[in-house]
Amino acid sequence: MRRRFLAAAAAAALLLLPHATPAQNAPLKIGLIMKLSGPGASLARSVNASIAAYFALHHGEVLGGRPVVFVRRDDLEVPETGRRLAQELIVQDKVDILMGGSAAPEAVAIGEISTQAKVPYFIINATTPGLLSKAPYAIRTSILNADLMPPLATWAVRNGIKNVYSIVADYSTGRDKVEALTNGLIAAGGKMTGGVAAPQITTDFSSYLLRVKDEKPDAVFGFFAGGPGSINLIKQFNTTGLKATIKLLGGGDLTAEELLAAEGDDALGIITVSNYSVAHDSKLNRDFVRAYRAALPDVRPDDAPSFVDVQTYDALAAIDRSIGAQKGAIDATRTMDVLRGATFESPRGTITIDPVTREVRQTVYVRRVERRAGRLINAEIAAFPPRG
């Protein structure tokens, strides 16, 4: 029995070895794994538009001089599904690169397969710390909570918000955000007075908001990774009357651009922190927003790219550069080496890939939801330079 198990494990490992060297003009195959169905499917719609926008602003559907083929798979926001799909994409579809992952748990699972197979992996939506230390062939174009939360805490204390209560989704990213914000508040002279971790699928926040009334903090920090959770938290925060005396704070996911139309005027005045705003004032961002909207099927007046979309754009820029520096087969180590210390001009501003951690160094923006020219936007009201 043990011999058969070892033989099977060895066979699986051999299947994950890099495949034969392709010609330089052979299509570059990218396995894109993310949520494609159900309530979270809107993210796939926007990510696909971001991919199309990158190609529209550069040299067509070509990266590093090679035509590109995307093989899309739905991870259903289930880590084990993401792990299985990553393996299938490498073994059966012979992809050269992995990309995506709906959230941190899926990114961790896909990263494990990337490591085993020595296939480059570009993470566009995960904030869990330490992820890259276990994924040597991965680059993350998103951001760490440790980079986001201290600027929000500093801004809050400077603006008279010293006592914060948290309502977050009960999984690793929610806990990471609370820990980082708590540390940031203490360093700035404030404190986290308490909080609650609720199931990720929560859409009724009435019982949690009753606790907020009892605590009477200066602000509430909310995190439910976008979707119905974020929308309902905002609406119920307003209908319970808390908005009149207490600020609502969050990350970029709380008032992501694809949610603002549903959140409506209830979102006005909410303070969030992110690495991007569609209102960022640069020519590249204006060009990106135009190309993004042009790529959307059935575009709506309020459609606009979010932080995940610009992180997708930047992942493609990194792939473009790394593939252009290689001939034939894609070597995972060489891909990482090409990108260490690389600097890009992004729709969010100038970014640099840290040569040691492979994380992105970037400006962090504090934003406030405002209505301008009849549209809700996340207006940048403060900027904090990259750490280190």
pLDDT tens digit string along 244-262? Answer: 999 999 999 999 888 899 9
For residues 25 and 172, membership in a common domain is answered with no
What is the rounded distance in angstroms from the CA atom of residue 243 to the CA atom of residue 220? Answer: 10
For residues 176 and 235, membership in a common domain is answered with yes
Instruction: Flag whether 351 is in a domain.
Output: yes
Q: Which H/E stretch holds residue 184? A: helix 172-188
372 or 5: which carries more pLDDT confidence? 372
Instruction: Flag whether 159 is in a domain.
Output: yes
For residues 329 and 370, membership in a common domain is answered with no
For residues 191 and 290, membership in a common domain is answered with no
3-state secondary structure at position 56:
helix
What is the rounded distance in angstroms from the CA atom of residue 289 to the CA atom of residue 305? Answer: 7
Instruction: Flag whether 175 is in a domain.
Output: yes
pLDDT, residue 102, reads 85
For residues 226 and 325, membership in a common domain is answered with no
For residues 163 and 122, membership in a common domain is answered with no
353 or 328: which carries more pLDDT confidence? 353
Instruction: Flag whether 73 is in a domain.
Output: yes
**10 Å Cβ neighbour count for 179?**
15
For residues 56 and 127, membership in a common domain is answered with yes
For residues 314 and 303, membership in a common domain is answered with yes
For residues 45 and 113, membership in a common domain is answered with yes
Instruction: Flag whether 280 is in a domain.
Output: no
pLDDT(2) > 80: no
Mean pLDDT of 222-232: 92
Q: Which H/E stretch holds residue 122? A: strand 121-123
For residues 228 and 216, membership in a common domain is answered with yes
For residues 34 and 137, membership in a common domain is answered with yes
Instruction: Flag whether 82 is in a domain.
Output: yes
Query: Do the Cβ atoms of 248 and 234 come closer than 8 Å?
Result: yes
pLDDT(214) > 80: yes
pLDDT(13) > 60: no
pLDDT, residue 387, reads 77
For residues 244 and 111, membership in a common domain is answered with no
Instruction: Flag whether 279 is in a domain.
Output: no
pTM: 0.87
> How is 265-317 classified by DSSP, letter by letter?
GGGTT-EEEES--TT---HHHHHHHHHHHHHSTT--TT----HHHHHHHHHHH
| CA nearest to 387, candidates 350, 362, 367 | 362
Q: Which domain holds residue 151?
A: 145-274+365-384
Distances (CA, A) of 78 to 60, 106, 162, 340: 33, 6, 37, 30
pLDDT, residue 258, reads 82
Per-position b or e across 350-377, b if 16+ CB within 10 A of its CB? ebebbeeebbbbbbbbbbbbeeeeeebb
Work out how many domains the chain is built from and give that number.
2
* Domain CATH code at residue 136: 3.40.50.2300
| CA nearest to 34, candidates 119, 130, 108, 107 | 107
Rg, C-alpha atoms of the chain: 21
Instruction: Flag whether 113 is in a domain.
Output: yes
Rounded to 5°, the CA angle 86-91-97 comes to 55
